[in-house]
Chains A and B, each alone.
Chain A
Amino acid sequence: MKKMKWFASTVLAGAMIATLVVTAGCSQKETLNLYSWADNFDPDVIKDFEKKYDVTVNYAVFANNEDLLAKLKAGGSKYDVIQPSDYMVATMIQQDLLEPLNKDNIPNWNNISSHFKNLPYDKDNKYSIVYTSGVTGIAYNKKYVKGEITSWSDLWKPEFKDKVLLLDDMREVIGMGLKKNGFSNSSTNENEIKKSVDDIKQLLPSVLAFDTDNIKQKLIAEEGWIGTVWSGDAAYIAAQNPDIAYVIPKEGSTIFSDNYAIPKGAKNKDLAEKFINFMLDPEVSAKNYESIGYSDPNEKAKPFHSPEYQANKMINLSNDEFARTEWLMDVGKTLQVYDRYWTEIKSGRE
């Protein structure tokens, strides 16, 4: 009898979970499962796509590439379109997690500027198409920062004590140290890494905070005077606080991108390719990027963009600035070296 009761309650609990799962997946229309960063699309553009193809777009968000990777490894067929960053595309290709793209279904691919085709992390664009890109530079407040900022080493100036903000990101911070010393931002040479980390430790007393998500607010509210900021965020900050200037340091910096890709085993590959093609339409992409304020790699979209958007130097970098940027590469085994140094930097211990 006791066993029966046990059994009954187990079945009951199981039935409740099953009900939840079944009702969650219930819908007649075809569904595109989009998995991306928060606020990465103009909601109106998504609605236009839903109307045009009479489908439902299910937009789920992740907070970082590692979350995305973990979800895909746990069974990625839940999603049709994902948006990994550059180095993560390379990792996913190596791990055989991506479906090759059928370019015949994505003719609008040709609209992409040649700067953003055949990038080092996916040389023939077999698995990915760029969505947006940006660089890491220095944003500073002209009210407090006198003189021109041109180099990473300017952050080390003693007058910025307690006013420097750094991205809370291992590769960005150590990569900055590497760039300052003239090395590659993806160096796997332990001497180069050590030299750069020693440099960063000298900077620590000046650091107000490490922050990625809210570094914008810290600069807008003038808590910090100077810091490492992604170009898209810099555009946002400058719109809120007109004293903010932005520079890509002369030693060069990191360039990054978000991309479209289709995970292996996606249930709706056709619709996924339709979506990518739709988003690459010149008018659609102009509307989308004007709304989200990121850089638009779509060359054919230029005539549809507003003069303000085109004149914004933080969204549209010059060729000179692009020329001194470098993509982050997966550092393989050396990641452990980076991780240890990062723990030292963040904890102030050795």
Chain B
Amino acid sequence: MKKTKWLISPVVLWLSLFLILPMAIVVVISFLGRDEFGNLVIQFSLDNYARFFDSLYLGIYWDTIALSVLTTLICVLISYPLAYYIANAGPTRQKIWLLFITVPFWINFLIRTYAWVLLLRSQGVVNSFLMDIGIIDEPLKMLYTKGAVLLGMVYTFIPYMVLPIYVSLEQMDRKLLEAASDLGASRWRAFWHITLPQTKSGMMTGSVLVFVSTAGMYVVTDILGGSKSTMLSNIIQTQFLGARDWPFGAALSVIFAITSLVLIYLFNMALRSRHERSKEGRA
């Protein structure tokens, strides 16, 4: 074990250079001041954090969390049945389905997002079709709405949810299901008491991935939301560029990072307590 320890040194070097060091710089900047040209002023100040508690920024923070939670929930609801179906399909079919899930990753994300614009806009494919077959007279307003943003987020992050759930379904101990059925449990009951608890970790992993990615995504709100629904990440971007206020942008980044860490911690706690409970239950 000890002899191979050096194998991780490139990773350690990489992480410290490109993750820990930049993060430390962000934390330091978040306590500094700025002059009117945006130059950093060396001083210790908590003002940047105090500013966050303004109702304007708290409101945007709340919007961001709400959209991320909603995206995560919808992703779970869509992904679970899909992952369940794939995991129970034959080996060749499984491969084909997994390919379908990953193919979108081969195409540039911006192109896929603009494709939604072509579909949803007032002269777009969907509206033209509905008008041609006479279901509607006026184009529906679908693009540049909060709904379009939600759709874009769910579309973008579904693979992040399907794959972990699929993996946990694959690794599940299927003998337990046979045992349940031998003991007379219905399929639904077996699913509820055996499959669902055993795939919780997959759902949790997927949820963390989707939640954190949604909260940090600002391209979708710009392209599909017409830049009208501002997220915390949009504010951070503005602070570093147009507003020339790096300390405030850094403080918001730190708050955002802490939110994500707290969330991941809570997820892990929830998982662990479940394991412990199940152990106790067995004992």
B242 x A209 contact (CB < 8 A): no
Asked whether any CB of chain B lies closer than 8 Å to the CB of A189, the reply is no
Which residue of A is nearest B58, CB measured?
A: A349
Asked whether any CB of chain B lies closer than 8 Å to the CB of A210, the reply is yes
Given the known A-B contacts A221-B121, A347-B60, A347-B63, are A208 and B144 also in contact in the complex, defined by CB atoms under 8 Å? yes
Residues in B with CB closer than 8 Å to A94 are 37
Asked whether any CB of chain A lies closer than 8 Å to the CB of B15, the reply is no
Residues in A with CB closer than 8 Å to B143 are 223
B241 x A340 contact (CB < 8 A): no
Interface of A is mostly: helix
Given the known A-B contacts A10-B13, A335-B36, A344-B56, are A66 and B6 also in contact in the complex, defined by CB atoms under 8 Å? no
Asked whether any CB of chain B lies closer than 8 Å to the CB of A146, the reply is no
Q: 0/1 per residue, A175-200, Cβ < 8 Å to B?
A: 00000000000000000000000000
> In the complex, what's the smallest C-beta–C-beta distance from B72 to chain A, in angstroms?
22
A350 x B228 contact (CB < 8 A): no
Residues in A with CB closer than 8 Å to B56 are 340, 343-344, 347, 349-350
A91 x B37 contact (CB < 8 A): yes
B245 x A2 contact (CB < 8 A): no
Q: 0/1 per residue, A308-350, Cβ < 8 Å to B?
A: 0000000000000000000000001101100110111011111
Asked whether any CB of chain B lies closer than 8 Å to the CB of A74, the reply is no
Asked whether any CB of chain B lies closer than 8 Å to the CB of A50, the reply is no
B6 x A5 contact (CB < 8 A): yes
Residues in B with CB closer than 8 Å to A208 are 144, 226
Residue in B36, B63, B122, B238 whose beta carbon sits within 8 Å of that of A223 in the complex:
B122
B59 x A9 contact (CB < 8 A): no
What is the bound-complex CA distance between A211 and B143, given in angstroms?
A: 14
A343 x B13 contact (CB < 8 A): no
Given the known A-B contacts A2-B6, A335-B243, are A211 and B60 also in contact in the complex, defined by CB atoms under 8 Å? no
Residues of B within 8 A of A (CB): 5-6, 9-10, 13-14, 36-39, 55-57, 59-60, 63, 121-123, 141, 143-144, 222, 226-230, 234-235, 238-245
Closest 7 CB pairs of A and B: A209-B226, A5-B6, A210-B227, A347-B230, A66-B241, A339-B243, A349-B59
Listed A/B pairs (9) with beta-carbon separation below 8 Å: A6-B6, A13-B10, A64-B241, A162-B141, A209-B227, A211-B226, A348-B228, A349-B56, A350-B55
